[in-house]
């Protein structure tokens, strides 16, 4: 890779890092492109060269977080053993949704989502739709069911049911053992919802 290309990638990464920190510290509304540029060590014009709007920049920070997290929990759905596939998916899904970065984004959505609906739409477009589509395909393939959307929504809701207590400080973050136990219990309930025996 040429040095010019490397410099562009490094500059873009600095802008994304600065933007994520600024959004989480100041909120979407309070985050200014001037502040992001200053934090990244570039000019405001440079920020706009890479990202034409603040919304586009916010979406890019979400995508960067998703790539770093590697969301490998979706890969678990490729495992041949159905129960293991669901349980591995469930544990990874819970870990991702209790991560520091994810919780910071949820706090931001709760605080500012009603005032900035485009921010909320961007957030949910990145994760929820992809996860639901993957689960729909999984259920269609493994159970020959084409009408399990309600069951899938219930499954996902059960998986993240402990997020709010952690988010609000009512309980400490879950240990690995607690995550595994919650994932296993939730998968068992999901299979009952699907009226499946494995």
**Where residue 198 falls among pLDDT bands split at 50, 70, 90?**
low
**Where residue 89 falls among pLDDT bands split at 50, 70, 90?**
very high
Q: How much is the pLDDT for 126?
A: 67
Q: How much is the pLDDT for 8?
A: 87
3-state secondary structure 66-78: HHHHCCHHHHHHH
pLDDT in tens, 153-196: 999 999 999 999 998 889 999 999 999 999 999 999 999 988 86
Name the percent of the chain lying above pLDDT 90. Answer: 55
**Where residue 7 falls among pLDDT bands split at 50, 70, 90?**
confident
Residue 146 has pLDDT above 60, yes or no: yes
Q: In this structure, are residues 119 and 30 in contact, taking their beta carbons and an 8 Å threshold?
A: no
**Where residue 71 falls among pLDDT bands split at 50, 70, 90?**
low
Domains and CATH numbers, the chain: 3-65 (1.10.10.60), 70-193 (1.10.357.10)
Unique residue bearing structure tokens 């136990």: 181
């Amino acid at each position: 890779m040429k040095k010019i290309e490397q410099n562009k990638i490094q500059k873009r990464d600095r802008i994304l890092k600065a933007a994520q920190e600024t959004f989480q510290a100041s909120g979407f509304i309070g985050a200014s492109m001037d502040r992001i540029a200053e934090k990244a060590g570039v000019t405001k014009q440079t920020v706009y060269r890479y990202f034409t709007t603040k919304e586009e920049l916010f979406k890019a920070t979400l995508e960067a977080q998703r790539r770093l997290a590697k969301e490998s929990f979706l890969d678990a759905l490729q495992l041949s053993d159905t129960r293991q596939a669901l349980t591995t998916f469930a544990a990874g899904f819970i870990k991702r949704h209790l991560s520091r970065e994810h919780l910071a984004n949820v706090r931001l959505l709760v605080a500012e989502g009603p005032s900035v609906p485009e921010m909320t739409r961007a957030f949910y477009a990145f994760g929820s739709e992809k996860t639901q589509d993957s689960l729909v395909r999984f259920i269609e393939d493994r159970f020959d069911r084409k009408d399990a959307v309600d069951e899938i929504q219930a499954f996902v809701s059960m998986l993240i049911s402990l997020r709010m207590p952690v988010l609000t400080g009512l309980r400490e973050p879950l240990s690995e053992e607690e995550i595994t136990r919650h994932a296993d219990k939730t998968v068992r309930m999901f299979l009952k919802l699907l009226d499946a025996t494995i």
